[in-house]
């Protein structure tokens, strides 16, 4: 196996010039040019030769080279057709890499894992295009793609939102959704000068390790997420009013008041103070109401 050659400014510039490459803002192209950051990503993703890694957005193949040296197999999905001939060049001799030219949001990733890794869980590692961070991560979780972990570069604020708990300003639907499926851990903050071109925002590497079993038991996952979204759509409203006003939910106000009271919370409580466990209890209570099973039970 060849050794990585990219990851520093000089070689990156040489490749870009050879192919007269123009950065496409619409694709969120900020290529990594720092070998320390690359080493850190690879180490924190805990990749072994047993692993199949899915890389989303390989760019000119910088991280792909590092991944190829650590993993058994790398499948990389790139949307920009201008990068395909570049990747064929920079990844020559890295025989365990397969490039797929596609928009990752349109690929059936569960089928891909079935075909390329016999359905065994994969690791996702990427310097993500920031404009689609949330749909990519939530798509992986909600569609139950077999994944062991996701180690990704994202905007710093987004990493913080994923990791934070109740009572902070960053806490929201993304925090709860991510923490429902996985344990988040911010591995490193990465400044703009580690990329070409430099992004206008700070970045961070976050590892999401999928829970073996969900942390909370919910009877209706879809209802849980509708409740969570409704609770944060109108952050300044009380939880009851937020849920009442949601177009995604259909519960009477007195039922919602009952549910919140059964949680042991006052009627003025806001969604942003509830933990994942409390959202799960609320969801299960309301799901039983929908099925006509709830009585005067409390959650304790």
How many residues contact ligand SAM, by CB under 6 A? 23
Pairing relationship of beta strands 182-190 and 203-210 according to DSSP bridges: antiparallel
Tokens of 207: 């590892």
Residue 210 Cβ vs ligand SAM, minimum distance, rounded to whole Å? 22
Strands, E assignment, the chain:
31-32, 52-56, 73-78, 97-101, 122-127, 147-155, 182-190, 195-196, 203-210
Interacting positions 84-113 with ligand SAM (CB under 6 A): 103-105
Among 34, 80, 160, 278, binds ligand SAM (CB under 6 A): 80
By Cβ distance, which residue is nearest to ligand SAM?
57
Residue 27 as a binder of ligand SAM (CB under 6 A): the answer is yes
Residue 146 as a binder of ligand SAM (CB under 6 A): the answer is no
Return the H-helix or E-strand segment holding 101: strand 97-101
Query: Cα–chain-centroid distance for residue 176?
Result: 12
Residue 201 as a binder of ligand SAM (CB under 6 A): the answer is no
Q: Which is nearer to ligand SAM, 132 or 206 (CB)?
A: 132
Among 15, 45, 70, 77, binds ligand SAM (CB under 6 A): 77
CB 218 within 8 A of CB 279: no
Q: Please choose, out of 24-32, 66-74, 249-257, 267-275, the segment that lies near ligand SAM by the rule CB under 6 A.
A: 24-32
At residue 149's C-alpha, the angle toward residues 147 and 272, to 5°, is 105
Angstrom distance (rounded) from CA 148 to CA 182? 9
User: Binding residues for ligand SAM, per CB under 6 A?
Assistant: 27-32, 56-59, 62-63, 77-80, 83, 103-105, 127, 129, 132
């Amino acid at each position: 196996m060849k050794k990585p050659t990219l990851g520093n400014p000089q070689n990156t510039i040489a490749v870009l010039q050879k192919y007269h490459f123009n950065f496409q803002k619409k694709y969120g192209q900020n290529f990594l040019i720092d070998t320390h950051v690359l080493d850190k990503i690879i180490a924190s993703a805990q990749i072994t030769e047993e692993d199949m890694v899915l890389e989303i957005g390989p760019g000119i193949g910088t991280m792909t080279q590092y991944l190829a040296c650590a993993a058994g197999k790398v499948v990389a999905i790139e949307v920009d057709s201008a990068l395909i001939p570049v990747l064929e060049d920079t990844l020559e001799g890295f025989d365990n890499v397969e490039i797929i030219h596609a928009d990752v949001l349109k690929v059936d990733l569960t089928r891909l894992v079935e075909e390329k890794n016999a359905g065994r869980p994969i690791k996702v590692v990427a310097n993500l295009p920031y404009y689609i961070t949330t749909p990519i991560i939530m798509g992986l979780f909600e569609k139950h793609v077999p994944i062991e972990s996701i180690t990704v570069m994202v905007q710093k604020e987004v990493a913080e939102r994923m990791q934070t708990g109740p009572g902070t300003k960053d806490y929201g639907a993304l925090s709860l959704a991510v923490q429902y499926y996985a344990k988040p851990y911010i591995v490193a903050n990465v400044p703009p000068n580690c990329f070409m071109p430099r992004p206008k925002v700070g970045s961070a590497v976050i590892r999401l390790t999928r829970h073996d079993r969900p942390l909370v038991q919910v009877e209706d996952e879809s209802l849980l997420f509708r409740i969570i979204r409704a609770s944060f759509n109108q952050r300044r409203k009380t939880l009851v009013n937020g849920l009442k006003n949601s177009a995604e939910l259909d519960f009477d106000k007195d039922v919602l008041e009952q549910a919140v009271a059964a949680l042991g919370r006052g009627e003025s409580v806001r969604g942003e103070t509830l933990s994942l466990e409390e959202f799960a209890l609320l969801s299960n209570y309301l799901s039983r109401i929908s099925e006509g099973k709830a009585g005067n039970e409390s959650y304790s």
